[in-house]
Structure 1
Amino acid sequence: MRRNRWLLITMLLSVAVAILTGCGSNEPSWTAFEGAANAKTFPVPKEANKTERASKSSEIDYVRYTLPGIKENDDIPGPYLQEIAAWGWKEEASQSSGSQKVFLRDGQIVQLSVHDDFFTVLVPKDKKSTVNVKTIDTE
């Protein structure tokens, strides 16, 4: 009898954990930020996970971050744009479009490119390339 009770309790706890895990929010909270790996003065959500960094290119340094819940077809969330502005970055609207945003601060340019469940932070290495930053597709 005791053995059956422990088995029942274990099963109920397992089901409860599975339900709670499955019901967790996939949306980022947009409450905590840290500096990007390639631009320490540019914020990225702490929830984002760095998955790839390509710094060997002579023209651009980019870091790819996974962030479940972020979507290419949606606008960049307002809280994230507010945090970017709070860190002193200004959007270059003439070079931004849709899910590709270009930001400027103290002569440094950062391009934020949002895709489904990931985003990239691109930083031109050569000062000449900061004049005409174009959209770079990392897929």
Structure 2
Amino acid sequence: MKRMAGILILGMLLSGCSYTYSHDDGYRMAVINEGFPVPKNAYEVRPEDCTTEIAKSAKYKMKNIGDEEGTPSDDYLHEIEKWGWEEIEEARVGNVHYFKKNKKIISLIIQRDIFDVFEMSDEVKL
């Protein structure tokens, strides 16, 4: 009986952690910058190493966060703007988006089921 209960609990835990993007689930602060939103159910994984251009980095897994070309949903872009970030559209390169708030620049790189958030160093000017 204990074995059956253990298997049942494990199955519920695994099935409940799908981490699929949905605007309705809400947003939370990114681990690298309290003022930048990430989907609430995004699963944090090991980030990329920082460089002279990147002060802090975070990497998240989430199904359907972007389309095949790496374009984030309009809902997510709108949420980023609601948090006070302005996209620097002339700096966008493919699926790399840049946002500015006060003197901070955040780079958001979207892929189909994974995304990176980088806080750029103060030396980077866009």
Task: State the TM-score, normalized to the length of structure 2.
Answer: 0.75
> Pairwise mapping of residues 1-139 of structure 1 onto structure 2 (< 5 A)?
27-31=20-24, 32-54=26-48, 57-60=51-54, 61-70=56-65, 71-125=67-121, 127-129=122-124, 131-132=125-126
- SS at the partner of 2:123? helix
Q: Once the two structures are aligned, what percentage of the paired residues are identical? A: 27
What is the CA distance between 1:75 and its match in structure 2? 2.5
Contact persistence 2:106–2:118 (CA under 8 A): yes
- Long gaps (5+) in structure 1: 1-13, 133-139
Mapped to 2, the partners of 1:94 and 1:123 lie a distance apart of 18
Contact persistence 2:95–2:111 (CA under 8 A): yes
Task: State the TM-score, normalized to the length of structure 1.
Answer: 0.69
What is the CA distance between 1:97 and its match in structure 2? 3.0
Greater RCO, 1 or 2 (C-alpha within 8 Å, sep 6+) = 2
CA deviations over 1:25-53 (Å, ceiling 9, x no partner)? 87511130011111110000011111013
- SS at the partner of 1:38? coil
Contact persistence 2:91–2:98 (CA under 8 A): yes
Please identify the structure whose Cα radius of gyration is greater. 1
Could you say what the CA RMSD is over the residues aligned between the two structures, in angstroms? 2.6
What is the CA distance between 1:87 and its match in structure 2? 0.2
Aligned positions, number:
112
- Long gaps (5+) in structure 2: 1-7
